[in-house]
Structure 1
């Protein structure tokens, strides 16, 4: 053992102990000493004390100790006999008491803490443990032990620690295990007499608060008094109300900690999860539920006068009295005024181990299962009928958020589109339907009330023939409805899918996007399937429905969709069902007959080298998942073998599926591999269609590329690749157009060649050789006309044209083809891309000759047709020289059609292109040339182009990206000679192109607004009407746009008037700005609006690190003394707290903010009392937010969220 400090009986540091009852004490001591010395290294013995103890009187003890010490083999040698043990027990009364209990020699009113705890935890099966009760409560243990070590302000008197737990007993057990030392438990007032007489007892635990009304007063004694959390009145009785008390609250563990603790004491995983939900994470409740003695199972509160409210709590489960609809629901169900109900609840909450808990405005049943078992006899037909009627009103309620456009539904609360009932009440009622339905089969009262059938009928009325609106509105409750009546739920779902408009499909088609604005309606449906699929007899039915749902498209990319839910049912290493392997494979075979595409996909995805998954949702009340054992190796490999067999069977005769089987070859055994080879051979022999041949060839090329990075290498790899390439060649269509179209795909695979890994340079060379061979073959067997037809059928016509110019001998008859394909060449069309390839090829004899031949025909065409053809020429000086030979109308048409791209070499050419595009009214296209290299163009030209866009030029053109715009504005900002006012006006015009945070990049606009009070007031005026103006007239679109830009500028503005570029502050400049702006805003009727926005701006003062404001700003706020200014400043400060963040639930983030503003209030309290009051109010607001965060966190814990 290791002791941190020495006592009269234990040495400090490490020691080893040998205990013996043998009569020949010396002989035994020598044997133990020599044995221990032999097995312990000398280095360890040098820092360890050897101790021998015997319960017999040992006359030779002192001599033995002296002899062994003289040897020096150990750090020290000690020995104790019966006389020493007697002395020790006299000095350690707690240990003596426990020893006396073991001998049957106990007295009244007092027991050892160990015995008390042992009897309490062993009353259930399985027995509880101290470690289990401590799970998730390490902070409370530390707090208790710290309180025991500290004497505080009572060095000469008894110290009391008030320990609040779910129940008095649980607090006692916790204290007994984690107080340290040898505490005793006082079970009657008479026990204090024993403690008063024994100075060596330092920790006493009262078994109940009433036993601690009077206790001894002396130095060194700490009394731990247990309380139920709701019982605060008892705490102030007797001495407890007279002395300084250390108060410690014993929190209930979170869901994960409680479940882990249950598993550690031997509860099966699925049962542990269910018990965690149903017992409310309370060890006292769990002990009653698992009690061996039936008398323990009946809590005292069952006989409380206020227990008449228990049926109500049993049915509803939870609600908030901050919601009037919730209160009305409770009143209707109870047929009593809410005030009377709340009084009963308050009384019950003060009971020991109460059945209900209150967190802020929330009332919630602590253990729904226990409450149902105990309160069920009090349920009757009337209250049940009222409950089902009320529940129906929740299920049939239309979701007001559906009245909004899709892009606004995520923020429905901002538009006051809320359901009438709180989510707590509606969720609790839905959960109660499950609870009542499931327990109806085992509880006689519930069975007589036919609750399972009545709830199934309610589910049927809700879902059978339901409209899309109903499915969307009821979606949050689908998991509970499914678990409450699984067969009814599945029948309604299948029926909806059979209807022509498939209303349930709305759960997918109405789902949108991701991130903060995500609205997902089908997640709850997936959780519903997860819950009911645990039952083996439902597996096939669920799988078939999921397969059908997986074919419904939806917007977004969500991992837990219908197919993902289907796959997890069959996952070999983590099947989310209790079905045996044979049952799962039988279900998969049925799926293969009804939905072969989905079954094949599942079979393929079951075969993997790496996989990851999360556990699916389990039933909350049904025990369908009970007893789920870990997957054995035989079961795992059996599932994989069946998946491989099914995959190959379903792939036979199907090109796409055969290609996908190739990617699983390295995961299969030799027999399965040869079955795939045989299936491909059979497929080739069946003379497949051209489309089927191309499909499998595409997949073979992909596989060859993939296989080069696989486990094979050297000769084995080349042998394998030869087989695949042979399949590829044998599948080649006869017609060259079909055979080689893949060579001109945009995302073509690598060339199917031998060798380890791909050499991309060699691959490109090989592809080019094959492309050239294709073009030569087409030119040689059909001429340019056949080649042109081929070009218009592939994805890269330009590449065909490029090769045609290089390879055709004699030059192709392009003019004839143009006449056939033209006269119009729309940009992006395949004919235009082919012509561009013909015209833009690198300078060769054929290329130059072809361009000149085509150019000579242009005067005979209209300017627009000629320009469309010229746009296919290279964008170079040579082309522009040709254009200048044509009439001006042709040149103008050319610059309206030209496509210069995103880069151009040569400063002179670039400037010529920019000005020509500007003259053609194409500022967007011009800016694309310089958006990533804006320093190449003069600032006035950039400004001209940007102004052209604002004036509506080239509305259909592509805009530069946000990063490109930032580059353009930065170039003008860095140009010190460029007009600042013009730049500020441009920044105002482009404010919408910048996110709110990026407004700070518009430095000139920031500087202008912060230095011009008239501009600032103009912006305020653009947003807000003058006070007293008639607002019935709607604003024009232009006014709306201006107001929106102005709002974005003022909201993003961070530069405070008076601050210079070097961050120095000029008080006079600030004061002049403020005075002028106040005067202007008053004259134009925007006084209050200006104060509000200006107050928000002042919250961003750069001096936040010290006392926030320079004195001049503080003086202005103090002297102005306007509510709107204070309000705006408070809003600005609160906004500085940030938006989305990780909420721990401890409130520390807002507590630290509150401390900061409390300090500011103190700092300004003497010189600027009004400003100090504002800071104090902000601090108070942050404290409220911290408390609210803690409350919300507790509620979420209770709900298991």
Structure 2
């Protein structure tokens, strides 16, 4: 939902410092564009253009629009940048509010912003340390968690998030709610927005900084003498272009600047000259003693010798025991020019086609029969993971539900069919047509009577199987589409809405995309994709049949070798078979409707695409295609109002002859005589069109004044005569689209508000309040109707609204009356409220009426006057916003607690804490403990507010230990070191009280004493045990540490001895020692410089402390936490070196047993480093 946004950028009104900073940031992107650098937050690729002041093109985040093209696919991506010299991430920041408003508008503008590809960036000077740590952490978490639930969990989890992350998340939610018209956005929309939103800190505009020297370094690669002068020149050019809201592309910059950044030609030694040629004899594998075996295994291509099912396949194919083949394979493997590759038990033949061409004569009919039988048997096996629901399927392998044969073998068999299907002459000693028949029959048998599970099981192999026998494969797809139920319907459902849903149709789409490259299959593929699109219910994945159609036929980047005449036939046939799918396709093929493409899946085995083929299309052919598709669109829309509206919305993207034709249609008697409701829809979109183009009349894309006049004349003829229809467009979701001029947006908003008031006045005068209500039910934002209605002083309005609408179950009525009441209050104040006749109102209606008013003392005073004893309806419904309250929040907190809204009370308490007001600690403790059993919505609980209040209690000496103990124990999961907070009292007791430590330990772990009675494990006991576990495992203060941070050796040793005695008596000695070892990783250093205190080192090194050392090793290993795997294994290598050095240090200090433990850990990391490197190298192979 988009609402109005302020004018975010006016370079002539923001002040000199801000202007200079904005120009330098814009200039930095120009330097990157000229020097071949890359834009932040986007894939690596050249910057193609930079748009300055993008408001004129319909962007709300408008200071900077950077267009980047991916080097490998030529797909276009955008960065929408808003530049602010300084900003703070707080609720009170109006600047941040404006930025979020603009970003939210653009994020929801599907014409300008592609989710999943484009990004929005706030570019600012250095942030405060708090904002840098907390906000950047939140944005990073959004991009590196698998879903919204994990993100929100991490944001609330004490051992994950920095101290004020919850507060900063609340700030983002607050501004997003404001940007969304005062309506809370869903958690999924919040997560998606944060995924796309970046904050970039630039230290430009300062005498000392990092960014400017880096930019100078870029420039100096081309001009070493005067990088300062060139930088100043670029800034000056940008300032000039900025005033004109220009678009910078390299070719339009001054010639002298272009010459400076010309790439110097570099000549490199040819690759064939870099290697010393060794003279070696090349093996003629056709004459080798194992030629037959080698030819047969080349049909399979790859297998896993650790997989028994794979070995069975090889045994049957070779006609002999696999063990007799292994020595032959190893002999071949030792040849310098071996065709085999072995790594970690995986055998592969990298150059299969070349080997088969050499050895094909050793393959006979019976070999092909065996190969076909094996391929069909293996590839028709159903994946047992489909026995699980889609959301649990990710864990199938844990339960042993995997295909018997390795994916390596399955892929090798599919590729073998594809190789044979495209090299039918390779087996010269087989019967005529045998190779082709083998492949066709294999594909036919694989897909005969295929159900959805088989298609899903073969998903990754379908592109390869399609290339093996295209006609047979397409026939199989068509047959499947005709089945009832259709197997693809069930596959679409597997995508689901959760984190773990998968797309099991990507393979089918890629298979069809591969075949579409061939002119012979294009029409059939397009019709099949159209039918698949007709089955598609939609989903989260971008791989969809309709998208494949667009990708294949894009006029500027078509992914087929079929000539345009054949493509026309494909589109016309699609429209005939599937009209709605065909319509959507031609709309996406029109100019500027599909601006990016990553290309389609290309054939791997069929040599369809010539080696010298290049992307792109001549301009003349492009416009020929556009004209054809545009005319086809107009013809398809002629008798369909909805389609005419779609064309009006992209009016300026149509070729001139087609525009003239469209104008003739919408001005025809046939359209002018349509019912008013249908005419209104066309008129509404024509008005939006003319308003936009008149507002940006100086833009290059704007329609001519002559054409706009013609359109306005038609619009006048189509305009509804009934005000009910005439004014609906004023109450839309984008106020900005209704502004008539550029410039003063506040003035434009006031004009719009006035238009709305006049519209409602006319409708009211014509049909009374009931007509206004029906009107509100027909518009997108009924709250705006209520706001406009408040300007009328007619008692009949209040008589209808009040009190009946207050208890209505109709959301439109509630939005209407709530906006009306609030607006009336802001216009007339308490005089209006007090003057209402409430004689017929019940208590619930009075309470709800007051809940729509601001959360202030005046509302509470009237509550006490009007509802002295029945106040539940107010306090249970009031929209609690303590930032509105001018005074008396303590009174409100008491009432909220009385009426069981402790989370709302905590919000008020935090506001008092934020404003440095004195807090009633008893009231605070009551609220915190009551919140544990509150029935309020869970989203009303704010972890950050709770933690801050607990920290306040911890610092207040008047709080009793018993009360603080209850609070810390209740909110233990929220308190952790990483949040700059912790359960101070609980940790202090663990550290100083051996009996408390042993008691907590016994809550988690069973006693090893056989005669110890076992308690029944109730839900309450489970909760207590979970809390105790978290207390122990987040404990980071070793015994002996004093409040001032010093270490007392005697206290440590006394504590340790008492714990040993108590835990030995209770049957918990072993786990007690392991737990102690885990906390000792936080040992202070020794005063003499040794990395561990010698007293703790002695305790760890004791011959009877094996369990403590085990815990110490476990603690160190777990302390690493979540990390990204580096394919080089470098981090693991560094950790191994680090622990080796620590082992050396403690061994030299006399702690040889502790040293051995550390070396064990170093060995673990050394082996892990090697394993990671081998795994990634294998994937590369």
**TM-score, with normalisation over the residues of structure 1?**
0.68
Say whether 1:498 aligns with 2:482.
yes
Q: Structure 1 1138/894 Cα, relative in aligned 2: closer, same or farther at 3 Å?
A: closer
Mean Cα deviation higher: 1032-1041 or 410-419: 1032-1041
Deviations 1:1039-1079 (A, max 9, x none): 45455555555555555555567665444555455555555
User: Are 2:279 and 1:207 equivalent residues in the alignment?
Assistant: yes
Shift of 1:541: 2.0
Partner of 1:376: 360
Give me the whole-angstrom Cα distance separating, in 2, the residues matched to 1:729 and 1:1072.
Answer: 94
- Match of 1:807, SS? coil
Are 1:321 and 1:361, in contact at CA under 8 Å, matched by a contact in 2?
yes
2:1129 is aligned, of 1147, 1153, 1165, to 1147
Residue 574 of structure 2 is aligned to residue 587 of structure 1: no
Alignment map for 1:1155-1166 (pairs within 5 Å)? 1155-1166=1137-1148
Whole-angstrom CA distance in 1 between matches of 2:747 and 2:362 = 84
1:540 aligns with 2:523: yes
Judging changes above 3 Å, is the alpha-carbon distance between structure 1 residues 525 and 1085 closer, same or farther for their aligned structure 2 residues? farther
* Residue aligned with 1:806, SS: coil
Further displaced range: 313-322 or 954-963: 954-963
Matched, 1:131 2:117: no
Change beyond 3 A, Cα 1:1071–1:433: farther
Distance 1:1005 1:536 in 2: 76
Q: How far has the Cα of 1:356 moved from its partner?
A: 0.2
Q: Does structure 2 retain, via aligned residues, the 8 Å contact 1:871–1:894?
A: yes
Q: Which residue of 2 aligns with 1:787?
A: 772
Query: Contact 2:1040 / 2:1051 at 8 angstroms: preserved in 1?
Result: yes
**2:906 counterpart residue number:** 927
Larger deviation: 535-544 or 599-608?
Answer: 599-608
Q: CA deviation at 1:455?
A: 3.7
Task: Give CA deviations for 1:177-221 in whole Å, capped at 9, x if unaligned.
Answer: xxxxxxxxxxxxxxxxxxxxxxxxxxxxx6359xxxxxxxxxxxx
Change (3 A) 1:813 1:701: closer
1:742 aligned to 704, 729, 750, which one?
729
2:376 corresponds, among 354, 372, 392, to 392
1:652 aligns with 638
Q: 1:1000·1:1053 contact (CA, 8 Å) conserved in 2?
A: no
> What is the distance in 1 between the residues matched to 2:548 and 2:336?
44
In structure 2, the CA distance between the partners of 1:869 and 1:660, relative to structure 1 (3 Å rule), is same
2:720 aligned residue:
733
Structure 2 gaps of 5+ residues are 1-267
Deviations for 1:264-318, whole angstroms, at most 9, x for unmatched residues?
A: xxxxxxxxxxxxxxxxxxxxxxxxxxxxxxxx7xx33444444453144212212
User: C-alpha separation between the residues in 1 aligned to 2:962 and 2:683?
Assistant: 63
Could you say which residue in structure 2 is the equivalent of 1:350? 334
Structure 1: 5+ residue stretches without partners: 1-128, 135-140, 142-173, 177-205, 210-295
- 1:895: Cα distance to partner? 1.6
Deviation at 1:504, TM superposition (A): 1.3
1:485 corresponds in structure 2 to: 469
CA distance in 2, matches of 1:715, 1:577: 34
Residues 716-739 of structure 1 show CA distances to partners (whole Å, capped at 9, x for unaligned) of: 765555555555554433332232
Aligned to 1:428: 412
Q: Which residue of 2 aligns with 1:840?
A: 822
- 1:772 CA drift (Å): 0.9
Q: CA deviation at 1:875?
A: 3.5
Does the Cα contact within 8 Å between 2:302 and 2:409 map onto a contact in 1? Answer: yes
**Residues 782/539 of structure 1: CA separation in 2 closer, same or farther (3 Å cut):** same
Alpha-carbon offset, residue 917 of structure 1: 1.2
Q: Taking structure 1 as reference, are residues 1066 and 378 closer, same or farther at Cα in structure 2, changes over 3 Å only?
A: farther
Corresponding residue for residue 607 of structure 2: 623
Q: Report the Cα offset of residue 961 of structure 1.
A: 4.3
Q: Tell me if structure 1 keeps the 8 A contact 2:495–2:504.
A: yes
1:535 to partner: Cα distance: 1.4
- Partner-residue secondary structure (3-state), 1:469: helix
SS at match of 1:366: coil
CA distance in 2, matches of 1:536, 1:987: 72
Counterpart in 1 of 2:209? Answer: none
Structure 1 range deviating more: 1146-1155 or 1005-1014: 1005-1014
Shift of residue 347 of structure 1?
0.9
Q: Select the residue among 917, 928, 941 that pairs with 2:896.
A: 917
Partner of 1:125: none
1:90-109 alignment, distance < 5 Å: none
2:622 pairs with 636, 640, 648, which one? 636
| Aligned match of 1:105 | none
Separation in 2, partners of 1:522, 1:639: 30
**Partners of 2:977 and 2:447 in 1: CA distance:** 47
1:332, 1:1087 → 2: CA distance? 59
Maintained 8 Å contact 1:904/1:929: no
Contact 1:866-1:890 within 8 A present in 2 as well: no
Question: What is the CA distance between 1:919 and its match in structure 2?
Answer: 0.4
User: Which residue of structure 1 lines up, in the alignment, with residue 874 of structure 2?
Assistant: 894
* TM-aligned CA distance change 1:676 to 1:369, over 3 Å: same
Tell me which residue corresponds to 2:348. Answer: 364
Bigger mean CA deviation after superposition, 1022-1031 or 941-950: 1022-1031
Q: Is 616-625 or 954-963 further displaced after alignment?
A: 954-963
Q: 1:715 and 1:864, CA in 2 relative to 1: closer, same or farther beyond 3 A?
A: closer
Within 1, Cα distance between the matches of 2:924 and 2:712? 55
Q: Secondary structure of the residue that 1:639 maps to in structure 2? A: helix
Secondary structure of the structure 1 residue equivalent to 2:485: coil
- Counterpart in the other structure of 1:175: 276
Q: How does 1:413-492 map to 2 (within 5 A)?
A: 413-440=397-424, 443-445=427-429, 450-492=434-476
User: 1042-1051 vs 759-768, which deviates more?
Assistant: 1042-1051
- Contact 1:924 / 1:954 at 8 angstroms: preserved in 2? no
Give the superposition deviation at 1:920: 0.3
Report the 3-state secondary structure (helix = DSSP H, G, I; strand = E; otherwise coil) of the residue aligned with 2:276: helix
What is the deviation of 1:386?
4.2
Distance 1:737 1:675 in 2: 31
Partner residue in 2 for 1:959: 940
- Aligned positions of 1:999-1038 closer than 5 A: 1001-1002=981-982, 1004=984, 1007-1008=987-988, 1011=991, 1020-1027=1001-1008, 1036-1038=1018-1020
- Whether contact under 8 Å (1:806, 1:847) holds in the other structure is no
Matches of 1:722 and 1:1072, distance apart in 2: 94
Report the Cα offset of residue 472 of structure 1. 2.4
Pairs within 5 Å for 1:640-719? 640-662=626-648, 664-682=650-668, 685-700=671-686, 702-704=688-690, 706-707=692-693, 708-709=695-696, 712=699
Q: How does 1:107-118 map to 2 (within 5 A)?
A: none
Deviations 1:458-487 (A, max 9, x none): 434443443333332232222222222323
Distance 1:845 1:1153 in 2: 68
CA spacing shift, 1:1077–1:821, aligned 2, 3 Å = same
Give, in whole Å, the separation in 2 of the partners of 1:988 and 1:458.
66
Q: Match of 1:525?
A: 508
Check conservation: 1:1025, 1:1031, Cα contact below 8 A: no
Looking at structure 2, the residues matched to 501 and 1031 of structure 1 have their Cα atoms a distance apart, in angstroms, of 59
Greater mean alpha carbon deviation, residues 882-891 or residues 1032-1041: 1032-1041
Q: Secondary structure in 2 aligned to 1:812?
A: helix
- What is residue 293 of structure 2 aligned with on the other side? 309
> C-alpha deviations, 1:59-118, integer Å up to 9, x for none?
xxxxxxxxxxxxxxxxxxxxxxxxxxxxxxxxxxxxxxxxxxxxxxxxxxxxxxxxxxxx
- Asked whether the 8 Å contact 1:838–1:847 carries over to 2, the reply is no
Q: Which residue of 2 aligns with 1:1197?
A: 1180
CA–CA distance in structure 2, aligned partners of residues 1124 and 575 of structure 1: 67
C-alpha distance 1093-808 of structure 1, shift in aligned 2 (>3 A): same
Relative to 1, partners in 2 of residues 1:1048 and 1:317: Cα closer, same or farther, differing over 3 Å? farther
**Deviation of 1:383 (Å):** 4.6
Contact 1:805 1:846 in 2 (8 A): no
What is the aligned length?
903
* Larger RCO: 1 or 2 (CA < 8 Å, sep 6+): 2
Q: 1:1151-1174, CA deviations, whole angstroms, 9 ceiling, x for partnerless residues? A: 223222232333333422222222
| RMSD (Å) for aligned C-alpha atoms | 4.0
d(CA) in 2 for partners of 1:999, 1:382: 71
Q: Max radius of gyration: which structure? A: 1
1-structure distance, mates of 2:1078, 2:1020: 26
Structure 1 residue aligned with 2:1154:
1171
